[in-house]
């Protein structure tokens, strides 16, 4: 079994075989293959795969960085696990704009809230990106067994259990992050590390990005809780500096581990770049997302079975109709028996449909609690300080029907403008948090900031009362 990933410069691979017990895998080969710059990207991948597999038929697990996929966080109304794949696909088709036959859409769903709604992180690997992978493997006689996210495979190195657990793999130019809570994926990141800079600077940079990821993803008080496990996968000065920075930031001792420590006779420089590939081949690792085998709704009943059911229903209707005509001439006790049977059937119908009726009410409540984002964006625009004092560069929105998270960053001419902005926005429906400011020296002087704000929905008429005029 092989696990591979690649960038513009090289293919990385790990080859493993299962042990006798089948509970673990022994790494028997690992390394990198540099790409020939004179070949096209497709030819580069094919040539490197042929060199790695030596022309033999092989099963391959493909690991991708987070940047290779499109993601969307959506809130779905109450639904059963069987209904969830179809519901997620329909909702995502509106946001992500993909064709009916788009195959590689998978998702992670949170536990249902009290009202039955769920927050779902949908992930799409477009066919235009998946087809070249299949074609390159088939040209070498190999078969793709799984296509998964590289940071997810770091879970193979974490212990199971409750609480917050974090794994980070680091190597030259690359850093993957995985945050799990209660054995559920909370957040993933794939970073490109700047090629220049000292190990101390780069380690500090990665630690800062992990802090920002946790701040933007976790709810209070979990955002301020110390992780129960903090693992750095890699070797060398960079991994050591990152472990030191994480220990100082989180108050939890970060343990440092070489992912190839159990691979006898294999020495690879910057082994942190292979950590996810080692984890992907572990029998203990079950990918939470697999783009080759995404979650699907249960198979529909066959046409023959539907025809049989229809025929049975038709015969039943004919029989009930005949019985009804005959019952008009029956004795009074027979009429009473028929009425009692109808009452029992109606009671059964009420009982059988109780769950669906409750689900309909929950969906109606969910729909009533949705955000009026046009009104919200107008409110934010009118409430922000004038452009002469502050410029917003980027704004993103994620969340559900009860609360949402609005994140934006920008540049303020003076620190007071950020304080003014927070005071203007903060009310019962808005809770802005700006952890810090950074001075921007040079020609365009100012103070850069990153603000995250929890927002609660309110009806459109409340916006109209606030603005004094009709909403657009």
Tens digit of each residue's pLDDT, the chain (472 residues): 899 999 888 999 999 888 777 677 888 889 999 999 899 888 888 888 888 888 778 889 999 988 888 888 888 888 888 888 888 888 887 777 776 666 688 888 888 888 888 888 888 888 888 888 888 888 888 888 999 999 999 999 999 888 899 999 999 889 999 999 888 998 898 888 887 888 999 999 999 888 888 877 776 556 667 889 999 999 999 999 999 999 998 888 999 999 998 888 888 888 999 999 999 999 888 999 999 888 887 655 455 666 666 666 666 565 555 555 555 656 667 777 788 888 887 888 878 888 887 777 777 766 666 778 888 888 888 888 888 888 888 888 876 557 788 888 888 888 888 888 888 998 888 888 887 777 777 656 788 888 888 888 887 778 776 655 443 4
Q: Please identify, in words, the CATH class of the domain defined by 373-467.
A: alpha beta
Task: Give the domain ranges of the chain.
Answer: 2-67+130-280, 70-124, 303-364, 373-467
Residues, the chain, total? 472
Query: Rounded to the nearest 5°, which phi and psi values hold at 430?
Result: -135, 130
Output the pLDDT for position 350: 78
DSSP state of 4: E
Q: Which two tokens stand for residue 394?
A: 């980027």
Determine the pLDDT at residue 131: 86
Kindly tell me the burial class for residue 286, based on how many C-beta atoms sit within 10 Å of its own C-beta (0-12, 13-18, 19 or more). exposed
pTM across the whole model? 0.67
Distance CA 4, CA 171 (A): 16
Distance CA 223, CA 458 (A): 26
Please give the class, per CATH, of domain 2-67+130-280. alpha beta
- 8 Å CB contact between 428 and 411: no
pLDDT of residue 99: 66
> In CATH terms, are 2-67+130-280 and 373-467 the same topology?
no
What is the DSSP pairing of strand 118-124 with strand 70-76? antiparallel
DSSP string computed for 408-470? EEEEESSHHHHHHHHHHH-BTTEEEE---EEEE-SSS-EEEEEEEEEE----HHHHHHHHTS-
Residue 352 CA: distances (Å) to CA of 313, 345, 455: 18, 10, 38
């Amino acid at each position: 079994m092989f696990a591979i990933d690649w960038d513009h410069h090289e293919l990385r691979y790990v080859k493993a075989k299962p042990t006798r017990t089948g509970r673990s895998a022994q790494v028997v080969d690992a390394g990198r293959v540099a790409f020939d710059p004179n070949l096209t990207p497709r030819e580069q991948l094919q040539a490197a795969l042929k060199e790695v597999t030596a022309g033999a038929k092989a099963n391959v697990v493909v690991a991708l960085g987070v940047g290779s996929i499109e993601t969307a966080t959506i809130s779905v109304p109450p639904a059963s696990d069987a209904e969830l794949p179809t519901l997620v696909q329909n909702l995502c088709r509106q946001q992500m704009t993909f064709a009916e036959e788009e195959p590689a859409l998978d998702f992670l769903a949170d536990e249902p809230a009290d009202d039955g709604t769920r927050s779902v992180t949908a992930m799409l690997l477009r066919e235009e990106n998946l087809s070249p992978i299949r074609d390159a493997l088939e040209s070498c006689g190999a078969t793709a067994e799984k296509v998964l996210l590289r940071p997810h495979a770091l879970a193979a190195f974490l212990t199971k259990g409750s609480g917050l657990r974090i794994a980070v793999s680091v190597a030259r130019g690359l850093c993957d992050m995985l945050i799990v809570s209660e054995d559920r994926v909370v957040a993933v990141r794939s970073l490109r590390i700047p090629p220049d800079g000292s190990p101390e600077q780069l380690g500090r940079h990665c630690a800062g990005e992990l802090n920002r990821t946790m701040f933007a993803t976790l709810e209070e008080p979990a955002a301020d809780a110390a992780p129960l496990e903090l693992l750095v996968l890699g070797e060398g000065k960079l991994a050591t500096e990152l472990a030191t920075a994480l220990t100082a930031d989180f108050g939890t001792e970060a343990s440092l581990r070489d992912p190839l420590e159990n691979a006898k006779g294999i020495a690879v420089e910057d082994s942190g770049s292979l950590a996810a590939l080692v984890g992907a081949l572990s029998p203990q690792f079950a990918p939470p997302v697999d783009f080759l085998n995404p979650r699907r709704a249960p198979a529909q009943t066959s046409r023959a079975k539907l025809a049989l059911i229809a025929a049975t229903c038709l015969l039943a209707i004919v029989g009930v109709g005949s019985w009804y005509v005959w019952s008009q001439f029956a004795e009074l006790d027979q009429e009473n028996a028929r009425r009692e049977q109808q009452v029992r059937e109606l009671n059964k119908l009420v009982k059988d449909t109780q769950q669906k009726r409750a689900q309909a009410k929950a969906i109606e409540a969910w729909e009533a609690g949705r955000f009026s984002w046009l009104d919200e964006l107008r409110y934010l625009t009118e409430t922000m300080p004038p452009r002469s004092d502050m410029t917003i560069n980027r704004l993103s929105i994620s969340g559900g029907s009860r609360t949402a998270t609005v994140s934006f960053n920008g540049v303020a001419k003076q620190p007071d403008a950020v304080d003014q902005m927070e005071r203007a926005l903060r009310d019962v429906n808005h809770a802005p948090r700006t952890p810090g400011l950074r001075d921007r020296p040079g020609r365009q002087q100012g103070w850069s900031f990153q603000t995250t704000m929890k927002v609660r929905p309110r009806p459109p008429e409340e916006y109209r009362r606030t603005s004094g005029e009709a909403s657009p």
